[in-house]
Amino acid sequence: MKLVDTLKNIWTIKDLKERILLTLGLVLVYRFGIEIVLPGVDPAQLQGLEHQTKDGLLGLLDMFSGGAFSKASIFALGIMPYISASIVIQLLGMAVPYFQKLQREGESGHRKINQITRYLTVVILILQGYAYLTNLHVQLPEQAFVLTGFYFTFSSIAILTAGSMFVMWLGERITDKGIGNGISIIIMIGIIARLPFSFFAEISSKVSTGSGGGFMALILELIILFLVFAGTILLVQGTRKVPVQYAKRIVGNKQYGGVRQYIPLKINAAGVMPIIFAQAIMFVPMAFMNFASSEEMTGIMAALSNYQGFWYNFIFFLMIVLFTYIYTAITVNPTQMAEDMKKNGGFIPGVKPGKKTRDFLDAVMSRITLPGSIFLGIVAILPAFAMIAGVNNQFAHFYGGTSLLILVGVVLDTLQQIESHLLMSHYDGLMKSGRIKGKTPGGPAAY
């Protein structure tokens, strides 16, 4: 069988085997750490927090943290603060000259940007740690806290901050020494961990209780889920091929004829980054809801935190479209592509080299990014429609949204890396025909 042969080939490549085993080991460390409750909190008294994170936006945040949020774990804040800090730094890189200068300085500038991102992450973690502890005191009874006072608050914030930084370190080690993008894999593992429980909860609500349409409704839901899943794969893999004609070259006394190749411009060049960016921003109103000083402000914060509400999904959709254009502009550089093409004697038939080629590539990217961004936004808000249609709130997260896009994007990216190792070792790839199309080589998976 093809699958068995592929697994044998993977096991015979020493470097690939070690990378996969290291990745699995670090993921296990992360999953074990999720079960460690904050010192001073009684793990038997967490029913209120578990009920609060059962659905809604907090349920989505709990999914991203792998269930650590609802368990008052030392990893409760997860990796989202680091992603939020990265968003801020990338936006500053588009507007602030100092950060633009760092981006042009190559490796040294990149190290400086990473250092600033880490400092900002610590600041965000301290603020979110205090907000998380405030929420704990609201949701849990007094007897749930073995320790109280300043010492408990200070030590818990320090532990939560250190826990998230450790998770970030695990992700970086997976990226450097393992397989795939580490931070993306950590988020994906948290999502996958919730899938079995969500699926059985949906089966219970549709079949066991005899309500909600029964077995036929469940079959219809699974068919729709499959169609959404297939559409998401097409979104991630979709490309528009631009023909490039390379001119004839004379080397020595031999003449080499022109060669036509294609530049695959991706319909969704930004990957899942726009939805990650937008989701991180949508978490902000929820974080400040408890600090709202007036009823009007509380109402606005509540509307922007309502996962099924109109304003939440409308703003979420618009931000995804906006971030898709912004991140595509960052990752795809038509000027550099036009210069490289000109240096190698290439040109697009009917388009003059240089500025005309750059304008042509920019126009093509703008046209194909629009439908890609709109479809990405539609997929992102599909879970709200699934909830309205009667799907269990937890299972509805897999009908699109951040969860499905991360799953598809990270799995394709990781499989593409495994396939590259196989091909470099002169083995067949993972597929019988063609190659797995992930994101642009070198591009991020989810972060």
**pLDDT score of 158:** 94
Q: Where are the alpha helices (DSSP H) in 238-333?
A: 273-288, 295-304, 310-331
Clarify whether residues 129 and 231 are in a common domain.
Answer: no
Clarify whether residues 124 and 215 are in a common domain.
Answer: no
Distances (CA, A) of 445 to 149, 151, 186, 268, 403: 42, 39, 12, 12, 13
Residues 192, 50: Cα–Cα separation, whole Å: 18
∠ Cα 394 320 163 (to 5°): 60
Q: What is the DSSP string of 266-282?
A: ETTTTTTHHHHHHHHHH
Clarify whether residues 174 and 215 are in a common domain.
Answer: no
What's the token pair of residue 48?
Answer: 């209120």
Clarify whether residues 106 and 237 are in a common domain.
Answer: no
**pLDDT score of 292:** 54
pLDDT tens digits, 247-283:
655 444 444 445 677 777 888 777 777 877 787 777 7
Listed residues 124, 158, 178: the one ending a domain? 178
Quote the domain boundaries for residue 444: 211-447
Listed residues 121, 154, 178: the one ending a domain? 178
Residues 90, 322: Cα–Cα separation, whole Å: 14
Q: Is residue 203 part of a domain?
A: no
**pLDDT 10s per residue in the chain (447 long)?**
566 777 777 778 888 888 889 999 999 999 999 988 898 888 888 877 777 676 666 777 777 777 788 888 899 888 888 888 887 887 787 778 888 888 778 788 888 988 999 999 999 999 889 888 888 888 888 888 887 788 888 999 999 999 999 999 998 899 888 888 888 888 888 888 878 888 887 887 777 655 556 778 888 888 888 888 887 777 777 777 777 776 655 444 444 445 677 777 888 777 777 877 787 777 776 666 655 555 666 677 777 777 778 888 888 899 888 888 888 887 788 888 888 887 877 788 888 888 888 888 888 888 888 888 888 888 888 888 888 887 877 788 777 667 777 788 788 888 888 888 777 776 555 565 555 565 543 333 444
Q: Is residue 185 part of a domain?
A: no
**pLDDT score of 26:** 92
**pLDDT score of 445:** 41
Clarify whether residues 284 and 173 are in a common domain.
Answer: no
**pLDDT score of 441:** 38
Q: Which helix (H) or strand (E) holds 262?
A: strand 259-266
pLDDT tens digits, 38-85:
988 888 888 777 776 766 667 777 777 777 888 888 998 888 888 888
Number of domains composing the chain: 2
CB 54 within 8 A of CB 393: yes
Residues 103, 168: Cα–Cα separation, whole Å: 22
Residues 248, 226: Cα–Cα separation, whole Å: 48
Query: How far, in whole angstroms, is CA 288 from its chain's centroid?
Result: 23
Distances (CA, A) of 346 to 28, 86, 182, 350: 49, 36, 37, 12
Q: Is residue 283 part of a domain?
A: yes
Q: Is residue 193 part of a domain?
A: no
Backbone angles phi, psi at 243, to 5 degrees: -70, 140
Q: Is residue 431 part of a domain?
A: yes
Clarify whether residues 5 and 62 are in a common domain.
Answer: yes
**pLDDT score of 255:** 45
3-state secondary structure of 68: coil
What's the token pair of residue 113?
Answer: 């940007």
Listed residues 135, 153, 178: the one ending a domain? 178
CATH number at residue 140: 1.10.3370.10
